[in-house]
Amino acid sequence: AQSVTQLDSHVSVSEGTPVLLRCNYSSSYSPSLFWYVQHPNKGLQLLLKYTSAATLVKGINGFEAEFKKSETSFHLTKPSAHMSDAAEYFCVVRGNAGKSTFGDGTTLTVKP
């Protein structure tokens, strides 16, 4: 069985300040982990993925995430938030059978 917990349903930051979106996972084997972003009325766009290679993963638009097996975490970070980053973010765990489990999402608000 696998599960994902996004620890914050809403995060609010000021433009130019760091972003931290937290994700913990549970899996009985080594999973693949992904972060997706969804802008209003749009589909999901892949930000980055972890598939058992480097534990620090760099994605698009300046985002990165670090896989920490001991903490079962895969937190998403960005050094400096931009207004265009305002969206909903989903952490996803994908198991060997190819089934994806999504977190409940974190809404990021960026204040000017």
- Closest approach, Cβ 21 to another protein, in A, equals 15
- Is residue 54 close enough to count as binding another protein by CB under 8 A? no
- Closest approach, Cβ 26 to another protein, in A, equals 15
- Please select the residue that binds another protein; options are 31, 63, 91, 110, rule is CB under 8 A: 31
Size of the site for another protein (CB under 8 A): 24
How many beta carbons lie within 10 A of that of residue 88, not counting itself? 18
- Is residue 49 close enough to count as binding another protein by CB under 8 A? yes
Binding window for another protein (CB under 8 A); candidates: 10-18, 56-64, 68-76, 94-102: 94-102
CA distances from 89 to 28, 68, 73, 94 (A): 24, 19, 15, 16
Q: Name the residue among 104, 102, 107, 62 with its Cα closest to residue 88.
A: 107
The residue assigned the tokens 């969804």 is: 38
